[in-house]
Structure 1
Amino acid sequence: MSAAPTHFTRFAAIDWSGAKGSSHRGIALALCEAGDAAPRLIHPPGRAWSRTGILEWLREEAERPTLIGFDFSFAPPHIERGAYLPGEAAPDTARRFWGYVDADSPDADLGAASFLERRRGRHFYLGAADGVKARFMHFRRCEAHFNANGGGKPSTVYDAIGAAQVAKASFAGMRLLHHLGDAVPVWPFDPVPERGAAIVEIYTAIAARAAGLRKGLSKFRDGPALDTALTALGSRPHDPLAHYSDHATDAILAAAWLRRNAARADLWAPAPLSEDIATREGWTFGVV
């Protein structure tokens, strides 16, 4: 569907957060250039990144040859049930759905927790009071393909409870993509650009597997372990961090993985990715 781009010389990975509020220690941004220098953390203008701060950074990158990876789901499942929110008059394409989420999310700093909370029990699982959790376990075609090929079981965006859930982060991310508009192409909803920046969805566990971490483990919490993983991805050791959080190490490793894999044609043209899937659900870069 898409030829592999060759113009990217900068590679960024953003560990994202859907937490309430306007200052998020759960957001980390790492950046590296072509070559083998280790990715470095880009520090926020304040004590911690806000989502709107990341939005401004993306706008600044628009004309630069930067491949940017985000670790949230760019759309909910649609193909499986024929709708994002069955029974609700929501749009049926991803870009229009991003606007729908934004229009019904008054939360601060592009948050979307209230969007989920108002639909708990109908579309989202927020606890035992919502019924049997299995009723909410619906997946995009990308996730189903990844699972079927032994990749694991990524969280569904309809599960909004638990430390590993991605629901709030994903819906906050959809608001971010809506506000970004057409300033930066978002693959595969948009064609791969021949110049400037582009955004892809990533799954940090794929980078961890590629770096040699066995299935079931995906976090690096100290400098030596992170350097071992970076070496496996063709990177030199990193500059020591003051604090080794999962967010920081995920972003650093994912940026190195993006640099190593950005020119792989198979990642830009996975066989299962149809036009319908690309328009409604998107795809995780790295799943083939």
Structure 2
Amino acid sequence: MAAEVLSHWWLRAAAQGALAAAPGASALNDALRRRRRSTFLTQDYFLSKWHHVIQHLHALGNPGGVALQRTRAIEIGTGWFPIVPLGLAVHGGTVVTVDVGNHLEPHRVRLAMQMLSDLESAGQITVGAPEHLARLRSLLHAPADTPVPELLEPLGIHPRIADARDLSDLPETHGANLLVSNNTLEHIPAETLRGIFAEFRRIGSGDARMSHYIDLADHYAGHDPRINELHFLTLSPRRWRLVNNRLGYQNRLQIGDYRQLLTETGWRVTTESLTRRKATTLAGLTLVPPFDTTPVKELLVVKAHLVTRRA
């Protein structure tokens, strides 16, 4: 019974909201998440991110098994395991991975590097630049206390703490021709996204492509089987503000909102891969404005991969 009660989405939201209101909340939340993720990296999770790597390469017209030529990439949202930067690096690219906080630690970086090496040896993944993979394997023999930059910089991966709306102080990002994110944009407010897209257009090369994976579903649904992925569209702005705390922020933007933001900042969507739920997912839900007037076809999109180029 206790486990059943704890699965309520609102209980999770309340606990997270209380933590968000505490002094030093961000540092405490980061410490708790570091502890949970200290040694947890599954093969399924790694391969799901490797799929993103391959699709980002396809955005450049690269089939995935060919070495990248003069590719400079920017990733927004480094996260806990730098799987996508490692994937681009072993295809020959250089990567600046940008986040507002530092989540990388040597043992997690090593876990990701080791799993990449093991999966390639097992024939489950392929790389485009074998010499970069060889360098990665040699770095796995470095002392256990080797700092993160010394593990990643030799591979052409440059972690940076920055606000992606202004990359003026990071000249290494200027002229990038591939700009990516992986289930990050849904955690960023619309106006901040507008600034990021505009900055990416400013610093990107003339032939730059953006490739973004977006999770548009209610993330609380992953913790409570009583609600579905569209549940948060039933909460009024006031109720949503109460549960949508800064530690687990979701913007509730719909696919049409992303298209509009991209258009307004000078980008043209060239490829869309959308995952939609059946219309029956809306059964029994009372949608609140503005979602009650949003086209059903848009509401049902719970995952998206968008590829863009300059308009």
TM-score by length of 2: 0.28
Q: Which structure carries more relative contact order (alpha carbon 8 Å, separation 6+)? A: 1
Normalised by the size of structure 1, how large is the TM-score? 0.30
Name whichever structure is richer in strand by fraction: 2
Q: Which has the larger radius of gyration?
A: 2
